[in-house]
Amino acid sequence: MKTGGGSFLYHLEDNQVAVGFVVHLNYKNPYLSPFEEFQRFKTHPAIKGTFEGAKRIGYGARAITEGGWQSVPKLSFPGGVLMGCAAGFVNVPRIKGSHNAVLSGMLAAEKVADAIAAGRANDELTSYEEAWRGSDIGKDLKKVRNVKPLWSRFGTIVGVGIGGLDMWLNTLLGFSPFGTLKHGKADYATLEPASKHQKIAYPKPDGVLTFDRLSSVFLSNTNHEENEPVHLIVGDAALQQRSEHDVFAGPSTRYCPAGVYEWVDKDGNAAADPSAKDVRFVINAQNCVHCKTCDIKDPNQNINWVPPQGGEGPVYQGM
């Protein structure tokens, strides 16, 4: 109840189902595993029957930019703009972003057409930057701006309840008694030392409803050439061991949905035990599905995701 999140289940054509699970990355417990939570979600009695006799055909993961109204970065730069989810236009309580992605594409196109008509090129499209808050995108995001900050502060039941009330006030009166709330700490700073938390005993995958990471990653069709430069850069290896492993018990082995990171002992076996000293950090970069979670959640901001060589990464089909 202290960790925000959500889920979706869509019935598609040809008897297909798309199921997904969201975990807000400002969680505190380093033992939490978004992947395992997703597996557990599929065993919930309300939806479990949907998957009976079914076959997995795809898998993927992505960090969603959920900060909304108060977190949207500068959107224009010489020769280009940020749009859609890259700009952070997801409406969190409505669990949708495609509408704003389409609207931001249209808004940008209008401003580009104006610039071309005025004989401009390669300069900064500041008119797009200036227009979005007054557009339908801004109106949509402003009304819901306090939901996530309230959720983070007061937990799922109370926080979402107050957030709902705040949305009513914003919609009916165009006003919030809270003004615009801040989100608080960055996601990497919310993680607490492992000593403050209990390990979470996730059940082993049954191969029917629940699966392991590696067989899931296989279905993402991710591909990186074997000898290419690693695109996941650890800034300070000693800090990674001293802090990420020794203090936080290796959360990268759990938050990564693709099993890229491992702490292994001298025999190459998994060793996430904070008391184990003779360990080394292994990065299976070829499995990366480019979700960017490590760049966001590493407690020391010590992992930097950089684009790998062109065209590589997951090849999602039907997702």
The binding site for ligand SF4 (CB under 6 A) comprises 232, 256-258, 260, 288-294, 305
Nearest to 184 by CA among 6, 25, 22: 25
Give the nearer residue to ligand SF4 in terms of CB position, either 5 or 93. Answer: 5
Please state, in angstroms and as integers, the Cα–Cα distance from residue 155 to each residue in 33, 151, 179, 297, 299, following that order: 19, 5, 20, 20, 22
Smallest distance from ligand SF4 to CB 175, Å? 40
* Shortest Å distance, C-beta 199 to ligand SF4: 21
When the beta carbons of 59 and 151 are compared against ligand SF4, the nearer one is: 59
Helix, coil or strand: residue 262: strand
Q: For residues 79 and 229, which CB has a smaller minimum distance to ligand SF4 in the complex? A: 229
* CB of 151 or CB of 263, closer to ligand SF4: 263
Nearest 5°: the CA angle 252, 257, 261 is: 35
* Nearer of residues 100 and 302 to ligand SF4, judged by Cβ: 302
> CA 260, 82, 191, 277 torsion: positive or negative?
positive
CB of 161 to ligand SF4, least distance (A): 32
- The nearest distance, CB 256 to ligand SF4, in angstroms, is 3
Q: Is 124 exposed, middle or buried (0-12, 13-18, 19+ CB in 10 A)?
A: middle
Query: Does residue 124 contact residue 136 with C-beta atoms inside 8 Å?
Result: no
d(Cα 73, Cα 203) in Å, to the nearest integer?
A: 40
Closer to ligand SF4 by CB, 158 or 315: give it. 315
Name which of 180 and 301 has its Cβ closer to ligand SF4.
301
Which CB sits closer to ligand SF4, 153 or 292?
Answer: 292
C-alpha to C-alpha distance for 31 and 199, rounded to whole angstroms: 6
**Minimum separation from the CB atom of position 259 to ligand SF4 (A):** 8
Task: Report the SS3 class of residue 46.
Answer: coil
Q: How far is the CB of 284 from ligand SF4 (least distance, A)?
A: 8
Residue 163 C-beta: closest distance to ligand SF4, Å:
28
Amino acid at 13: E
Per the DSSP assignment, residues forming a β-bridge with 23 are 5
Sign of CA dihedral 194, 197, 199, 202: negative
Helix axes 160-173, 147-154, angle to 10 degrees: 160
CB of 190 to ligand SF4, least distance (A): 17
Q: Which amino acid is at 88?
A: G
